[in-house]
A and B are shown apart, each in its own frame.
Chain A
């Protein structure tokens, strides 16, 4: 502390740690909050590729991919409980280069998702203004306002941030449930027309495979729960509980969303719609449902942006704390106990991405970054169990059927890369090029600043050598 403040300021603690105040409800709010916007928009592009039935197959197959992610994440995080989540896991299990890449995937995936969510908020308000007769509303100030308010919340504390996220995420989820019951699912022919609208697979099985890329929208971000590991009370219990209940919530929400939308909207229109659930509500003719689903769409986008700020900041903070990035960003606020410099640094980055206005490009880069992270997760898990078998270290949660989830995850990731290549081949190659250049920068320049002995913090026995 400086001399000027020594006399007046209260005694300072020896060490500043992130505040451990979160419970399973906050973990749920973080994971589901990031993802739920994908039920309100985006998932329906899978309908354009594979038809309504193809989209349902993608929903469940990609649901299996994310169930594997959630199981693997829950086990590893209950052991490597550190901010940065998968970054910290990769660092301990594989090594620095893998950790750097995973950290970069996380920061890029979440910051781009944040930008996309803010763009959606701006677009929604633009549409509302249009309905009230003012088609000239500029969405930019509302994009910046969304990012500014949520960055301010994140700056001031994790507890209030995720408590608010819980409320708005729960309301958004409730809107899907209300829409489902309003369409009388107990009498499938009363309001819904599945019999007429489900037309099989318009592009055959290759269309179903192509739909996998957009099936990711149903669940993208649930793995973000473990970014807050350092701020969770009873981490070994709360994280697996919050993550797995979050995954169950998403599987229910995804199935309900598909059921109501495909029963009311023809697949040719559904595959192009920008806000499919809102459009479904409009087709019911109920003014209440229309307004309620608009609120749900808006809340889901805000909740997602909020959660992604939380996660991106923690990934950047963790990398900086280990000097993978400038250490200056690894600071903790002495009063709010948040990674405040990381939060502030990522604001202009997110605003820049949002101002490009290229929603589909931004989202594709975000999805591909996430997919790369999941691919490496399967390697990490197999190596983790081989080097530290059951019983050799304390695990608060052990996932069943190993190595089936890891192998399934790998197979589904490869299939989804193929699906992405069918639609976004050039973006896939550009993104690979970006991460290869970033890896070279880390290897030849940045790694010399890392304190190698300090980065491994887990009191584990020496790893069992591979035979």
Chain B
């Protein structure tokens, strides 16, 4: 019984660590990199677009 309780706590702790990791990394990336660069992605598959342009 105690073992299952331990699993519950372990699940909460591991979840908190992983969610904290991605949240902190997201903030760090936002502070470290220029926003224009982060938002510079453009829609479309380059190779397909290139193939269409050449046709």
Contact = CB atoms under 8 A, between A and B. Distances in A.
A322 B8 CA distance: 41
Chain A interface size band reads: 35 or more
Interface string A311-341: 0000000100110000110111111000011
A129 interface: yes
A401 interface: no
A133 B4 CA distance: 10
Contacts of B9: 141
Nearest to B44: A457
Given A1-B33, A459-B49, A81 B44 contact: yes
A344 B25 CA distance: 10
Interface of A: 1-2, 5, 9, 12-18, 20, 79, 81-84, 88, 129, 132-134, 136-138, 141-142, 144-145, 147-149, 151-152, 155, 229-230, 232, 234-236, 318, 321-322, 327-328, 330-335, 340-341, 343-344, 347, 393-394, 396, 455, 457-460
A5 B32 contact: yes
B26 A230 contact: no
A82 B12 contact: no
17 contacts: A5-B33, A82-B44, A134-B4, A142-B8, A145-B15, A148-B19, A234-B47, A236-B48, A321-B39, A334-B29, A334-B38, A341-B26, A347-B22, A457-B43, A457-B44, A458-B44, A459-B52
Interface of B: 1, 4, 7-9, 11-12, 14-15, 18-19, 21-23, 25-26, 29-35, 37-49, 51-53, 55
Contacts, number: 143
A17 B52 contact: no
A347 B46 contact: no
Contacts of A18: 41
Nearest to B9: A141
Given A152-B21, A235-B48, A327-B39, A333 B8 contact: no
Contacts of B41: 15-18, 321, 330-332
Nearest to A133: B1
Contacts of B33: 1, 5, 12, 334
Contacts of A82: 43-45
A152 B25 CA distance: 11
A332 B30 CA distance: 11
A332 B1 contact: no
Given A1-B33, A322-B43, 6 more contacts: A82-B45, A88-B43, A155-B22, A230-B43, A235-B45, A332-B40
A378 to B, nearest CB: 24
Given A82-B44, A347-B19, A340 B37 contact: no
